[in-house]
Chains A and B, each alone.
Chain A
């Protein structure tokens, strides 16, 4: 089945600092999705990337899909306390299911 590695597992940043999480696959992906889970909450869809080299922005969040479509990154500029949570990448598996990465837990220190 599909395997994807997500790094780092944990990240503590001072409020206002930038944050990046990476998702790496050994195989070429047709697309990749990113989700955010707040503490005590449930995963919420953020975005889907499909095209090679695609870059999408949502306010302070920048999502990038690698040229080889084997990796992706999520970058947050000037973190805020509202950014706290775990960020997951999800990649297609057999059928229409998605395999979720291990997630990166972000702590923002005020």
Chain B
């Protein structure tokens, strides 16, 4: 298995631009998580989906952030408009809910820099 796939791996954009991050979870996994990691705040859960349905988006910073999961093999995290404080590493992770050990498998991350 290729593992969790994220694109792009790096993104540099200017303040005010729209940014779309993409994630392909491991085939067969039914839970998907979006995290943001910064030095100041550590690893924060933004939103997670079970069976393509958003369950908890309380970690989403504000209305500029939105996430979708149109099918079991694809999810997007969109920031519009982007701001310099959104600069961070964004990780997508997937897991198989209902198993005894719900290991989260992380993708390589997208390193976002907003100028």
Chain A residues in contact with chain B, CB under 8 A? 33, 35, 41-45, 48, 88, 90, 94-100, 102-103
Q: Which of B4-46 contact A (CB under 8 A)?
A: 31, 33, 35, 42-43, 45
Q: Which of A41, A42, A99, A103 has the largest number of chain B CB atoms within 10 A?
A: A42
Q: How far is the CB of A92 from chain B (nearest CB, A)?
A: 9
Which chain A residue lies CB-closest to B109? A42
Query: Chain B: how many interface residues by the 8 Å CB criterion?
Result: 23
Contact A96 B97 (CB under 8 A): yes
Q: Which chain A positions have C-beta within 8 A of B42? A: 100, 102-103
- 25 A–B contact pairs at CB < 8 A? A33-B103, A42-B107, A42-B109, A43-B43, A43-B93, A43-B106, A44-B106, A45-B103, A45-B104, A95-B48, A95-B50, A95-B56, A96-B31, A96-B48, A96-B102, A97-B48, A97-B56, A98-B102, A98-B104, A100-B42, A100-B43, A100-B45, A102-B42, A103-B42, A103-B43
User: Are A96 and B50 closer than 8 Å at their CB atoms?
Assistant: yes
On B, residues with C-beta under 8 Å from A are: 31, 33, 35, 42-43, 45, 48, 50, 55-56, 91, 93, 95, 97, 101-109
Chain B, interface SS category: strand
How many A-B pairs fall under 8 Å by CB? Answer: 47
Question: Distance (Å) between the CB of B6 and the closest chain A CB?
Answer: 9
Chain B min CB distance to A72 (Å): 15
* Contact residues in A for B95 (Cβ distance below 8 Å): 96
Contact A94 B56 (CB under 8 A): yes
Using A33-B103, A41-B108 as known contacts, list a sample of 7 further A-B pairs with CB atoms less than 8 Å apart, ordered by residue number in A. A43-B91, A43-B106, A96-B31, A96-B102, A97-B48, A99-B45, A103-B42
